[in-house]
Amino acid sequence: MEETRILVVLGTRPEAIKLFPVIAALRADARFAVRVCVSGQHRGILDQVLDLTDIRPDHDLGVMRPGQSLDALTGALLSGIGAVIDAERPDRVIVQGDTATAFAAALAAYHRRIPVAHVEAGLRSRDIYHPWPEEVNRKLIAGIADLHFAPTQSAAAALRCEGIADSRIHLVGNTVVDALLWVRERNRGAPAAGPVAALAERFQWRRIVAVTSHRRENLGNGLAEIAAALSRIAARDDVAIVFPLHPNPAVRAIFEPALAGFANVALVDPLDYPQFVALLDLCTLVLTDSGGVQEEAPAFGKPVLVMRETTERPEGIAAGTAKLVGTNTDRIAAETFALLDDPAAYAAMARAHQPFGDGRAAQRIVEVLTGMENRAGEVSRVRVDAA
Q: Which residues bind ligand UDP (CB under 6 A)?
A: 13-14, 17, 212, 244, 270-271, 273, 276, 290-293, 296
The residue from 59, 124, 148, 246 that is catalytic is 246
Is residue 315 part of the annotated active site? The answer reads no
Active-site option among 120, 217, 295, 373:
120
Whichever of 55 and 369 has its CB closer to ligand UDP, that residue is 55
| Whether residue 98 lies in the annotated active site | yes
Residue (42 or 236) nearer to ligand UDP, CB: 42
- Please choose, from the candidates 185, 190, 154, the residue with its C-alpha nearest in 3D space to the C-alpha of residue 169: 154
CB of 283 to ligand UDP, least distance (A): 12
The active-site residue out of 15, 88, 98, 315 is 98
Q: How far, in Å, CA of 360 to CA of 12, rounded?
A: 22
For 67, residues 6+ apart whose C-beta sits below 8 A from its C-beta are none
DSSP state at residue 383: B
- Smallest distance from ligand UDP to CB 250, Å: 14
**Residue count (the chain):** 387
Query: In terms of CB distance, is 90 or 244 closer to ligand UDP?
Result: 244
Residue in 318, 282, 288 with CA at minimum distance from that of residue 301: 282
Distance CA 251, CA 228 (A): 14
Nearest 5°: the CA angle 283, 286, 287 is 145
Q: How far is the CB of 294 from ligand UDP (least distance, A)?
A: 8
15 is catalytic: no
DSSP 8-state symbol, 376: T
57 vs 270, beta carbon nearer ligand UDP: 270
Please, what is the minimum distance in Å from the beta carbon of residue 149 to ligand UDP? 17
Select from 96, 11, 20 the least CA-distant residue to 51.
Answer: 20
Q: Write down the catalytic residue from 59, 92, 214, 308.
A: 214
Phi, psi dihedrals of residue 73, rounded to the nearest 5°: -60, -50
Q: Examine the residue annotation and report whether 42 is marked as an active-site residue of this protein.
A: no
* First-residue to last-residue Cα distance in the chain: 37
Tell me, yes or no, if 185 is annotated catalytic: no
Confirm whether 112 is a catalytic residue: no
Q: How far is the CB of 99 from ligand UDP (least distance, A)?
A: 8
Closer to ligand UDP by Cβ: residue 21 or 90: 21
366: nearest Cα among 168, 185, 146, 119: 119
Cite the active site residues: 98, 120, 134, 214, 216, 246
